[in-house]
Amino acid sequence: MSADVLTPNVEVAAEAPRGSGFGRTAWAWGWPKLLAIGLVLAFWQVVYMSGWRPAYVLPSPATTLSKLWDMLGTERFWSAMQTTLTRAIIGFLLALLIGTIIGVLVARVRPLRLAVGSLITGLQTMPSIAWFPFAILLFGLTEQAILFVVILGAAPSIANGVINGIDHIPPSYLRLGKVLGAGTIALYRDIALPAAMPGYLAGLTQGWAFAWRSLMAGELLVIIAEKPSLGANLEFARQFSKAPELLATMLVILILGMIVDGLFSSFSRRLRRRRGLAVD
Amino acid sequence: MSEAAVSSDPVAVVASPSGAAPILRIRGVGKVFGSGPSATVALNDVDLDVAPGEFLSVVGASGCGKSTLLNLIAGLDRPTSGTLEVGAKVAFMFQDATLLPWLTARQNIELALKLSGVAKRDRRARAEELLATVRLDGRGDSRPHELSGGMRQRVALARCLAQDAGIVLMDEPLGALDAMTRDLLHDEIESVVRAQGLTVIFVTHNMREAIRLGDRVVLMGSHPGRILYEEDIPLPHPRQMDSTEVATRAASLTARLKAQGHTHVG
């Protein structure tokens, strides 16, 4: 009885779905996001209704969402999606390979670190779109031009993640490894690599963000004939003034980026929780 | 039951350095860090013999080279001068347990088994056995951060046993624990070590702890790090930290250290 008196919040929270712990967690996790989306749509609707721009330039949320629904039923959309995701995956995997190798070398070879350590950070600050004119000169309007820039965008972050991860391995773990009788290979495989994982994962997350941005810039600039992609769709929608299609495609790009980023951060959260590190 | 019987046996053999051939022989060992005018002498002309099965306590103020000595014995560092003959595999127990946080308690032990060459199919059962030895049955799936400080050190002890080493170096393993947990671990370390016939070098700055556990206590001094004095402790095991015999000896040994100008021992 007295507990009810002391906790009036229980009554307020009664609107939330009661029942399973999962439902509660999902609701607690989901309602701020739903609210934010609702606010954005409301703001968009208000701007639309204010008549600031004509409807063929700035369509209403309802028009855009129904266009998105129609798009999801077309083969052209899915083929564009496939092209874009394939490029993203191949570009990211190549950047992963190259960034990891460079990161390990720079972290382990002192002269190399002095030589190119700051260059890697410098490359990270270089907007990847600035590479495209050069990439197009080198490779023409081809897949290679896009991959080239995606890799240049993502690999420095990944390399930096590796370097950070290796630099922050507690020396006591390496000492332990030697005491346990680990040879060079075992020391890397069983101690150094897992110990460097949190830094590496942070680098991968950032690398993905850069890869995705570079890819979108690339698809806008490097349009390959007969090869629909999300970026190319944006460009065509602009040229033919198809505002609803343009906005719908942007939504798809936003959601895809968020999904992958969410995967990375949930992976990183799980890893930190398992190790008893602070989870934000 | 049998472990308790071993540890409470008052006639348990107190090894003496003059008995069997030493498992560890240290002669004239010195260690200098750096060179030129900035060089620091961490250890100067250390002679020490440790008999198989002996429990040797090493006490000294910080900076007396205790940790350097352990590192030399473990082969983590090389002496600048002198020789070390280490007659058995060496395991190491650190002050902070140093369990790998991405592995469970059992996996930490399994890693030691793996690096000691135990076949994969035998590791799990052996790790469970070792967990039971340190009375952590059922906690094998816990992550290090889910265990208390005392439990973490017990896993570290089990990991030392997993290495199947003859000599175990313990670098203030109980320094960060509360008094009750520490007393409990004294009993466990003692019974496990004696049951397995291990040789132990136990570094501490707690004089009573040194006497509670040691067959022999070695006092070290600093600047430069060196051995000042050693004394056999022929009291029957197990001993109590707060017993009169232990307290009396602790007082006299502490007085001896102080007389040499080394006062930072608790």
Chain B: nearest CA to A197, how far in angstroms? 10
Give the CATH number of the domain where residue B46 resides.
Answer: 3.40.50.300
pLDDT of residue B264: 52
**B96 assigned to some structural domain:** no
What is the overall mean pLDDT for chain A? Answer: 88
CA A193 to chain centre: 23
Q: Is residue A171 within 8 angstroms of chain B, CB to CB? A: no
pLDDT of residue A177: 93
Residue contact B145–A191, C-beta within 8 A: no
The domain total for chain A is 2
**A56 assigned to some structural domain:** no
* Banded model confidence at residue B95, pLDDT cuts 50, 70, 90: confident
Q: Which residues pair with B43 in a beta bridge?
A: B31
Residues B182 and B220 both lie in one domain: yes
Residues of the domain holding A67: 61-274
pLDDT by 10s per residue, chain A, length 280:
444 444 444 444 444 445 567 788 888 888 888 898 899 999 999 999 998 999 889 999 999 999 999 999 999 999 999 999 999 999 999 999 999 999 999 988 988 888 888 888 888 888 888 999 999 999 999 999 999 999 999 999 999 999 999 999 999 999 999 999 998 899 989 999 899 999 999 999 999 999 999 999 999 999 888 889 999 999 999 999 899 999 999 999 999 988 998 899 888 888 888 888 865 5
Residue contact B115–A181, C-beta within 8 A: yes
Q: What is the pLDDT of residues A106-125, one digit of tens each?
A: 988 988 888 888 888 888 88
Residues A251 and A217 both lie in one domain: yes
Query: Which tokens sit at B99?
Result: 């369990």
The domain total for chain B is 2
Give yes or no for a contact between B176 and B95, defined as CB atoms under 8 angstroms apart. Answer: yes
Domain C-terminal end among B112, B135, B165: B165
Query: Which tokens sit at B74?
Result: 């473990």
Residues A121 and A41 both lie in one domain: no
Q: Is residue A191 within 8 angstroms of chain B, CB to CB? A: yes
Residues of the domain holding B138: 102-165
Chain B: nearest CA to A3, how far in angstroms? 31
Residues B186 and B69 both lie in one domain: yes
Q: What is the pLDDT of residues B104-131, one digit of tens each?
A: 999 999 999 999 999 999 999 999 999 9
Residue of B nearest to A176 (CA): B98
Chain B: nearest CA to A102, how far in angstroms? 25
Residues B57 and B138 both lie in one domain: no
Residues A138 and A29 both lie in one domain: no
* Banded model confidence at residue B223, pLDDT cuts 50, 70, 90: confident
Q: Is residue A190 within 8 angstroms of chain B, CB to CB? A: yes
A147 exposure class (CB count in 10 Å sphere: 0-12, 13-18, 19+): buried
**B265 assigned to some structural domain:** no
Residue contact A180–B94, C-beta within 8 A: no
Q: Which long-range contacts (CB under 8 A, 24 or more apart) does B44-47 make?
A: B44/B224, B44/B225, B44/B226, B45/B82, B45/B226, B46/B82, B46/B225, B46/B226, B46/B227, B47/B227
Domain C-terminal end among B130, B147, B165: B165
Residues A157 and A266 both lie in one domain: yes
- Which residues of A fall within a CB distance of 8 Å from B74? 179
Residues A130 and A230 both lie in one domain: yes
Q: Is residue B102 within 8 angstroms of chain A, CB to CB? A: yes
Higher-pLDDT residue of B259 and A127 is: A127
Residues B68 and B148 both lie in one domain: no
Q: Given A181, A190, A276, which is nearest B145 (Cβ)?
A: A276
| Residue B99 CB partners (closer than 8 Å, separation 6+) | B105, B108, B144, B152, B155, B156, B159
pLDDT of residue B19: 59
**A215 assigned to some structural domain:** yes
Query: What is the value of pTM for the model shown?
Result: 0.78
Domain C-terminal end among B165, B184, B215: B165
* Banded model confidence at residue B201, pLDDT cuts 50, 70, 90: very high
**A204 assigned to some structural domain:** yes
**B266 assigned to some structural domain:** no
Residues B24 and B125 both lie in one domain: no
Question: Which A residues 77-106 touch B at CB under 8 Å?
Answer: none
Q: What is the pLDDT of residues A56-97, one digit of tens each?
A: 899 999 999 999 999 999 999 999 999 999 999 999 999 999
CA B148, CA B84: separation in Å to the nearest integer?
36
**B95 assigned to some structural domain:** no
Residues A74 and A147 both lie in one domain: yes
Residues B19 and B64 both lie in one domain: yes
**A4 assigned to some structural domain:** no
Chain A: nearest CA to B73, how far in angstroms? 11
Residues B132 and B248 both lie in one domain: no
Residues A150 and A246 both lie in one domain: yes
